[in-house]
Structures are given as C-alpha cells and as structure tokens.
Structure 1
Amino acid sequence: MLKRILLIGIFFFGCFTCFSNEVAEKDSLKSKTISFKIKLKSEEKIKIKAAPLKYNKHFAYSFTLDDGYRSAYLTAFPLLNGGKISNSDKNEWKIDQGGDGTISKGLFYSDGFGNKIPFKLALAINGGSIRDLPANRGHLSWPEIKEMYNAGWDILNHGFHHATKHGTNYLTEATENTTSIKQNLGFTMSHFVVPGGEGDEKYYLEYEKDALNNGHFSVASYYGVGPVFKVDSKMDLDKMITARTFVQSSKDTTSFKIMDRYLKTLDSIVKQPNPIWFNEFTHGTGNTNLWNLSMRFPDFKYYMTALADKYGVKGNDSVWMAPWQEVYEYIWLRDRIKIDYKQKGKDVEVKIVIPEIPEAFRYREITLALETSSKFEIESGKDLIIKDDGKTNHKLIHLKLKQ
C-alpha cells in the first residue's frame, strides 16, 4: 500500500512532452485526411478540439489481471460483462478460483450517446500456461481468452513461461509468447508486462529492453513513470516504461477496510481538476487470495461495484473503464492528429489529418469535444463511422476510422 501511494505521488511532479520532430515528420509523409460536415441550427461560433480521453471522460482507469488465471473467466468477466458468476471452484492446486454463484447484470459506464459499455480489463498472459485440460485447470484456455478478447478485453504479453530465474532468455520469452498468441488468437500483442519472481539483480531491465526493441510500445515494470498520468497535454508514449501498483486483499476476511482504503486513494486522484489516467494490477479474483497476491472475489466484487456505483452510469458517469492498450492507443492518436475546421454561417467543414497508424493497433477512434449551444447534424464522410449528440447535449462527436 505504501509503495502504491509513493508511486502515485510521482503524478504531482509533472507530465510528459510531445513526440520528437523527427518522428512527426516521418508520420506526416504517410498521413491521410478525413473530412465531414456539421450542419448547425444557428450561426453561433463553434469550437472543436480532440477530447483528452475517449468520450471526453474525466478519468481513465485501466486494470490488469496478471498470469492468466482462470478466475478471470469464472468471476471477473461475468461480474463486469454480465452473466453467471461461478460457484466455488477448486482448481488443480486445491485453490478456490470460483465466486458466489450469482447472476450479474454487468457494470457499466456510458459513451455519452445513450449507450452503456461494460467495464473491461486486460489480461497479461503466458502462452505456455494456456491449455484446455484438466477441467479444473488453474489457467485459462484459448477459447476463454478469445471470448474475453472479443468482448473488448485486451491481451498483454507476460512472457511465454513467466520465467525470471537465472539463465532466462528474456528475448525468447517475449517473442515466443508473441508468436503463441498470434498463432492461437490471430493478433499481435503490443504491450508487455514484466513477470515478477526470483531472478538476477535488475533482471527486469533485460525484459524491458528486449520487449521495447521487439515491437512492444510500452512495458509495465517494477519502476517507471506513473501509475497516474496527466492527460490534458501531449504525452511522450515512445518506449514508455511504467511502474506497476497492485490492489490486493489483506488477511482480514471480515470487512472491506483494505478495499475502502484503495477506493479512498482512487477518489483523491479523481478529485484532481484535470483529466487523468490511472493504471493498476492484481492476480487472481477467486474466493482464495491466490499466492497472497490477489483479490478474493468478495473484495473484487465490492471494489468494482463501488467504482461502478460512484463513477459509472449509476453515479456521475465520469470513468472510462478501459484496458491499458485501449487508452494508450487513444492518446497516441489524439496527440498526432491535426484538426482544421472552417465555419461559414451554419455550415462547418471539418478536416482531420490522420497519421499512419501502426498495424498492431486494435483501436482507431477519437472523440471531438465541442463548444456550442446549437443543435447540429452530421453529414458523414467516407472511411469513418460517426456518432454525435447534436440533438441533445451538443458536446460530442465520436469518430471511428474504418480499417
């Protein structure tokens, strides 16, 4: 808990700078322009800019489950996405990875256009541990991971064997896991989470170097920037190395005091006036505190439900509960687009220069924040899907680029 608070304190000492001119110049050579028209109901002057976060939320909260334990599918996924939460379920290690057996309606935030979106997490997995048997296995299967991925959960590289001890080939661990996920799930992972464990002194530096030099855009490690980021200005995402903090259950099984402490810390961060991005981790989410590095399911349910009730659709709807990769890719694109618009009376023509987007990116979306009291309609351009609230709040336009 102390480490978590100390790392969070880094947030108050600054943010990040923009990309280098060299990278920007290279991207401009492969950019393309999209355009659309806004038809206002009045001639009031309009202002348009990229929203700091998707759907112009106040804060993004990314939460990752390390190691690919099956409790993610049995408990966390149905709780957040909606569905039947597993009953007590003892795995091959005689550890209960199940939950309370209830039916969840899901936990949601909204997109600002009248649609509810379920909370989504990320899974940091080791391809060498994924299998279909035995029935009471401790790790996820490929079909289970695929189902969660299709529901919007992101998959992060955690090394093929979770190897850390002396003699580990860190490069092979990173690249073999990338190959495994590509072969079994059909996509390329682009973010790396350093596995924890016994190892040579500062072994994590080798993982960081090999992951960043072999296609990964960022690494979550023992030390680094964050875990809280100011996002109201440009961020330097190039070869980002971030510090991990964990949410874990205590030995006290009679109350939710430790969860309330975590929630209180989160609330203090959210109260900052400017938009922020906060990133945290745990391991298992079953009834047993797996390896004493996890959240027991009652704690996980209490924690996530409290977040949803306060910051989701049941509360002030200020959270964008999205995995690390989704938030990273939004900010990357936000900082590289160039927006130009011209207004003539009630007609506004908007042109946006889009840089070349890396092939491994999963998301190609941007939200525009508008300042106008006028209702409006959109004349859509090609190569994009547009949602807007022009007839209601007159504040948002959301663009999804067609791949």
Structure 2
Amino acid sequence: MKIPQSITKPILVAALLIINGVFFSSANNISKTIDPPKSNLISFKIKLKSAQKVKIETAPLKYDKHLAYSFTLDDGYRSAYLTAFPLLNGGKISARAISEWKNDQGGDGTNSKGLFYSDGLGNKIPFKLALAINGGAIGDAPQNRGHLSWDEVKEMYHAGWDILNHGFHHATKHGTNFLTEVTENTTSIQKNLGFTMSQFVVPGGESDPGYQLEYERDALANGSFSVASYVGAGPVIKVDQKVNLDKMIYARTFVQSSKDTITFKTMDRFLATFDSVAKLPNPIWYNEFTHGVGNGDLWNLSMRFPDFKYYMTTIAKKYGSTGNDSIWMAPWQEVYEYIWLRDKVKINYEQKDKEVLVTIELPEIPETFRYRSISLIVDTKSKFEIESKESNIAISSDGKTTHKLINLQFNP
C-alpha cells in the first residue's frame, strides 16, 4: 500500500527525534541537542541450578536482620572519639584524659578488636553510632578540649558514623533564633565536612515551654527528614509493614549511668529492656541516646566508659556476629534511608526455566541521602549465580551457599 507523503514525513521526523537524542527540523537541520532521560530501571539475572519456582521480596531491614539498633551520642563530646570509636571500630582506647571541664573523658587504655555484626554473607561490619553535633563547639583548641575536632569528626564519618544536626550553639534559652540554629549548623558542616545533614536532634537544656516544637518545625522545613525530640514515634518502631517516615518526629530514650560505680545493675536493667525488644516476633527498629562515654559521668547525663563498654560488648556477644547475628547496628540516618527506599522501590521478576530476570525501578532519591541499599530475600532451594551488566549497582549474594539473600548497593 502506498503511504501518502503527508503521513510519511512526520513519521520520519519522529524517528530522527529518537536517534541519539538529536532533534531535527523539517529541513533536516540540527536545531537542538536533547540529553536522553536517565533511566531509573536497573536489571540483573539470577542463573539457577534448577528450574524450581523462585520467590523474591524486599527484606524489612538491611541484610534481612531482625533488629535495627541505632545509638546516638549527643553534643559532640570528645569521649566519642577517645573511647566509643576505638571500642566499636577497633583500636587503642584512650586512657585517663582530663578535659577543660576537669572531667575524665578517657577510657581504660586497652586495645579493642572491635564489635561486629555481619552482612548476612559472612562479612563483618563494625558497630556504628551517630553523632549529634553543634558546629559552633567543634575545634582544635584548647589542647584538653571537651569537644571533638573537625578531623576527629571527619575520621568517624568516613568510618560510617553519621552526623546529625543538633543546632549550631546548642541554644535553648529564651530568645533563641531556632531557624538560625538549624541553618547555621547545616552551613557549618557543609563548609567543614562537605556534606549536608538530613536528620535533626533537638538540643536539651534550660528553655521556655514548647521550645522543641519550634525546633521541630524549623528543622523539618529546612532540609531535615526527621527530628529526634521529646514526644513522638518509638523508641520501638515496627518495620514489617510500610513505615510513615514523612516529617517523622521520634522520642529519644536515654541510657545513663547511675551512682552505682561498682556493679552493672543499672546497665543490666537497660539490657533487660533491650532483650525484651530483641525478642519481639516481627522485625523492629530501636533507638537509644546518651551524652558522654568517658570515665566521668559528664553532667550526670552520660554513661561512664565501664558502663558503656559493658553495655555494648554484652549486646555484641549476644546479637552480633559472635552471637545470633540478628542485629543491624547502624545510625539513625542509615536505617531511615533504607526503610524510605524499601517502601518506594519497585521489584519485579520474571522466571523462565532456570533464569530469573529481576527489574528494579528506583524512585528519585534525595541528593542528601548517604545510603542507597536494598536487601532481597530469595526463597529457593536452588543454588544460583548473579549476572549483571549494570555499572551503577554492586551485587553480592549467598547464591552458592545458603542461597537466601541478595544485597544491592546502588551508586549515585
């Protein structure tokens, strides 16, 4: 059949529009170059050893763990670097270290091998915490400073610890400009560390009634996805179903030492609560806070280092890689971003005999997100291998052993 010229010409032009993303005018002259749209679709193949039907679903928590545990150190005290960081990450724990406030922010001077959980594939990952810091207090002076330095914060950040906005001056008193506290701290961390914080922790102290509501409002309106405050969600958050993360406000629970410096009865009470949470039947997210973790109970709002060490090592022995390995010990931001992506990503798969094509549709991920990971639970009795030609995804699995888990890391 002969196609009229009036129909043919638009068809040809439409074809030229598609080729290499170049737009041609009706006179075949290039008038504009259009970049092809970025695809949010990522795919890979699972090569099975048998043709038995496979079921794939997104894990409620990263690495298909039962308990996500987030622990935050408020105020950026130097004991975080001197004691907590080497205890968890591995290294030399500081001995006695008297700060400018005549308080001992050191520890016991021992060497730690680190505390670990696994990625579900046999690889150990150190326990990591979050630091809620005030940029106005971070610096190199005096030599016996009570707060962290920028280099110390940077080292912990690059080791996987997260940095949370805690206001620039930790201001709470009457007359505080809450908006400035939020934004100046954001600018300070951008300037000194090179990234934008996305979670806020309301500072405590002498204040007018309801001041935290102003912090919550200004933080959520200026780049924070969630706020730790006095009243809100948690401390136990169920994650077996979709979680409402939109402008989330969650309630802080503090772990603190008591006057009992000989036994660990106070810590045992906190651990009993922790055990009851860990035994809940469905996957959950649990968060706790404290201030200093040196030998002295800083401001009577902290954990003495012996208590902190006892608390963390007990949790690691029972729930870490040397125990039942059910814990995902990760900072608030990391857990938040996993759940956010988990609830928005679309996973599709199609099986033909021994081959499964998995297609992942990613949402638009905020630029301030640090983590872009998803774990998939694979229900199959067959061993398998992964085949992928995608350059913007890292895939690891236990396909040759227990064949139950696939961990995905998406690159920006």
Q: Does structure 1 residue 172 correspond to structure 2 residue 180? A: yes
| Mapped partners of 1:287, 1:254: distance in 2 | 13
**Paired residue for 1:324, among 332, 335, 344?**
332
| Mapped partners of 1:159, 1:128: distance in 2 | 9
| Mapped partners of 1:234, 1:144: distance in 2 | 37
State the one-letter code of the partner of 2:372: R
**Paired residue for 1:392, among 384, 388, 401?**
401
Structure number, greater radius of gyration: 2
Instruction: Within 5 Å, give how 1:30-69 maps onto structure 2.
Output: 32-69=40-77
| Mapped partners of 2:99, 2:278: distance in 1 | 38
| Mapped partners of 1:218, 1:191: distance in 2 | 5
CA deviation map 1:179-210 (0-9, x unaligned): 00000000000000000011111100000000
Aligned to 2:9: none
CA deviation map 1:97-135 (0-9, x unaligned): 000000000000000112100000000000000010111
Q: Does structure 1 residue 232 correspond to structure 2 residue 244? A: no
| Mapped partners of 1:87, 1:269: distance in 2 | 34
> 1:381: how far off?
3.4
> 1:138: how far off?
0.1
State the one-letter code of the partner of 2:369: F
Aligned length: 375
- Given that 1:34 and 1:381 are in contact with CA atoms closer than 8 Å, whether structure 2 keeps it comes out as no
State the one-letter code of the partner of 2:167: G
Aligned to 1:372: 380
- Given that 1:166 and 1:200 are in contact with CA atoms closer than 8 Å, whether structure 2 keeps it comes out as yes
- Given that 1:30 and 1:356 are in contact with CA atoms closer than 8 Å, whether structure 2 keeps it comes out as no
State the one-letter code of the partner of 2:108: D
SS in 2 for 1:335: helix
SS in 2 for 1:241: strand
Instruction: Within 5 Å, give how 1:12-23 maps onto structure 2.
Output: none
- Given that 1:337 and 1:355 are in contact with CA atoms closer than 8 Å, whether structure 2 keeps it comes out as yes
Aligned to 2:124: 116
CA deviation map 1:332-384 (0-9, x unaligned): 00000111100011000000110000000000010001101100000023120
- Given that 1:366 and 1:399 are in contact with CA atoms closer than 8 Å, whether structure 2 keeps it comes out as yes
Aligned to 1:99: 107
Aligned to 2:27: none
Aligned to 2:19: none
| Mapped partners of 2:169, 2:65: distance in 1 | 37
Aligned to 2:301: 293
- Given that 1:98 and 1:286 are in contact with CA atoms closer than 8 Å, whether structure 2 keeps it comes out as yes
SS in 2 for 1:173: helix
> 1:402: how far off?
1.2
| Mapped partners of 2:347, 2:69: distance in 1 | 27
State the one-letter code of the partner of 1:96: D
Aligned to 2:84: 76
- Given that 1:31 and 1:356 are in contact with CA atoms closer than 8 Å, whether structure 2 keeps it comes out as no
| Mapped partners of 1:230, 1:224: distance in 2 | 14
Provide structure 2 residue ranges, at least 5 long, that are not aligned to the other structure: 1-36
| Mapped partners of 1:151, 1:285: distance in 2 | 19
Aligned to 2:287: 279
| Mapped partners of 1:161, 1:260: distance in 2 | 35
Tell me the TM-score normalised to structure 1 length: 0.92
> 1:56: how far off?
0.2
| Mapped partners of 1:272, 1:279: distance in 2 | 15
State the one-letter code of the partner of 1:385: A
**Paired residue for 1:207, among 192, 215, 224?**
215
CA deviation map 1:273-322 (0-9, x unaligned): 10000011000000000000000000000000000000001100000000
SS in 2 for 1:180: helix
TM superposition outliers: structure 1 runs of 4+ over 6 Å:
none
SS in 1 for 2:70: strand
**Paired residue for 1:85, among 77, 93, 96?**
93
| Mapped partners of 1:201, 1:232: distance in 2 | 36
**Paired residue for 2:145, among 137, 146, 155?**
137
**Paired residue for 1:249, among 247, 257, 277?**
257
State the one-letter code of the partner of 1:315: G
State the one-letter code of the partner of 1:386: I
SS in 2 for 1:172: helix
SS in 1 for 2:381: coil
> 1:31: how far off?
6.9
SS in 2 for 1:177: helix
| Mapped partners of 2:277, 2:95: distance in 1 | 35
Which one has more relative contact order, counting CA pairs under 8 Å at least 6 apart?
1
**Structural RMSD (CA):** 0.9
Q: Does structure 1 residue 218 correspond to structure 2 residue 231? A: no
